[in-house]
Structure 1
């Protein structure tokens, strides 16, 4: 079993990778197709992040801890690939 700090670090690394994938995909689609389509790619992730931030706020997390938890919850899906 991993230590909580180690698990959190691994999840954060996966979240960084996923957000990079989303940024590259948005920029690529924006350059090849249309900037509006790029917004349609990145927009749902931004909305999901802000929903996660509101949920963590209701769970009495504050500051960077809330931001980190919402960020990981939004972008950790690359661990499944």
Structure 2
């Protein structure tokens, strides 16, 4: 295992990784761990997108739609075996 705090990554992926694609490149994580992290990130991005649509802008100026797209792309790459 690497220096990645797996529990923290599964709880708040954005606090451990800069981008969803970084999860794919993380050494020492199983495919299942990577998928769990990305699924959590997907849920977080989806919640942020809904909040933004309801008039609550994100605190960090990130585009939640773009983040959700990046998460979906990473999940697709993981499932394709990349």
TM-score, with length taken from structure 1: 0.42
Q: Which of the pair is proportionally richer in helix?
A: 1
Which structure has the larger Rg?
1
**Structure showing greater relative contact order (alpha-carbon pairs closer than 8 Å, 6 or more residues apart):** 1
TM-score, with length taken from structure 2: 0.41
